[in-house]
Amino acid sequence: MNSNNSSWVKFMYKVVIIDDEPIIVEGLSRGVNWDAFHCLVAGTAGSGEDGLRLIRKVKPHIVFSDIRMPCMDGLTMIAAMKSEFPGTQIAILTGYRDFDYAQKAIRLGVSRFLLKPSKMDEIEEALRAMTKKLDESGWKYEQQYEPEHGQEHGQKETYPEGNGQACEGYAEDAGSGPGPILGEKLPEMEENLPESAASSYIVKNAVSYIEEHYKDKLKLSDVADQVYVSQWHLSKLMNRYLGQNFSEILNGVRISQAKELLKDPALRIGDIADEVGFLDVAHFSRVFKKTVGISANEYRNQM
């Protein structure tokens, strides 16, 4: 960029701050000399749900976030951020000395783990480390940021509070891992792609949720909500790591459960279809034969 050009703008790293304690958000926003680190606070949010919405909008280079906010599993939120924006540097703010939790967060790609209340030199050290990583990665040249009119004077995107329905449809914990049906496919994925720990975590939690709710009228959007990513992103991850789309995974879980129920001769085929989440027996029969290669009755007779 030509520095003699009147339209030249100094490069600034975008920062987003997420915390449900307004005093923390205000303290970080106003207390840090962001300009000294070539950073600009591009937005703040008071809940994890609003924070993810903000991140997808402004695509920050750096995120400071609490991970013990109501209605949101912090590790799954981190995984969602790192899976969608792998270059983003994340500093976790927490009031808990939970070192096992910290280790898991670091494996998912967190750069720094800061205990509240953090001293200014700790925050500045974290900023130095994160901006150094960004400098070395060259991401700033891929994602130049020119502050919108007014932002250089402190204006920014702000989501001060949730909408009152932030907890609806969100699990406090999306699960620690998949159940027995698809779980055996996932450790190999992590071995082969260690850099994809965040995406692996998302897929594991998605599969776990499907295995727990296969009886329900389940949609891809329901599962995506639980792991805090878009439907498109979750579908892409499922195809990449499991080689199946959402319908194939859901039907696979349902048919596996149906095979177990077929061991009971007292259960009718229609009852089994209803029990595992199919709306009508004809659809169940088609899916069962396509999946297993024989009809449900033939499968039962072979047992």
Sorted by where each starts, the structural domains of the chain and their CATH numbers stand as 13-159 (3.40.50.2300), 183-244 (no CATH), 250-301 (1.10.10.60)
Q: How far apart are CA 249 and CA 298, in angstroms?
A: 23
Beta strand residue intervals within the chain, DSSP E: 13-18, 39-45, 62-66, 89-94, 112-115, 157-159
pLDDT surpassing 90 at residue 48 = no
pLDDT-derived band at 211 (thresholds 50, 70, 90) equals: very high
Pick the closest to residue 68 from 43, 45, 90, 47 (CA basis): 47
pLDDT tens across 154-200, in order? 446 666 554 434 444 433 333 334 444 444 444 444 434 334 788 99
**214, two tokens:** 């296969």
Q: Answer yes or no: is pLDDT of 49 > 80.
A: yes
- Give the model's pLDDT for residue 179: 45
The phi, psi pair for 112, rounded to 5°, reads: -140, 150
**For 119-146, what is the mean pLDDT?**
79
C-alpha 40/C-alpha 62 separation (Å) is 10
User: Quick one: average pLDDT of 68-73?
Assistant: 75
Please, which residues bridge with residue 44 across strands?
17, 158
CA distance 23 to 18: 12
**Residue 141: pLDDT above 60?**
no
Judge whether residue 246 has pLDDT over 80.
Answer: yes
Determine the pLDDT at residue 197.
Answer: 85
Pairing relation of β-strands 39-45 and 62-66? unpaired
pTM of the model: 0.70
In percent, the amount of the chain with pLDDT more than 90 equals: 55
Q: What is the pLDDT of residue 8?
A: 42
Q: What is the pLDDT at residue 106? A: 84
Angle between helices 231-242 and 246-261 (to 10 degrees): 60
Distance CA 17, CA 92 (A): 10
Residue 67 has what pLDDT? 80
CA 238 to chain centre: 14
Q: Which has the minimum average pLDDT: 15-29, 121-135, 143-157?
A: 143-157
Region of 121 on the Ramachandran plot (φ > 0 left; ψ -120 to 50 alpha; else beta):
alpha
Nearest CA among 75, 67, 58, 52 for reference residue 148: 58
Give the C-alpha distances (Å, rounded to integers) separating 295 from 95, 261, 269, 275, 287: 56, 14, 10, 17, 9
* Average predicted confidence (pLDDT) for the chain: 81
Which one has a higher pLDDT value, 61 or 153?
A: 61
Split at pLDDT 50, 70, 90, the class of 70 is confident
**Greatest CA separation for the chain:** 84
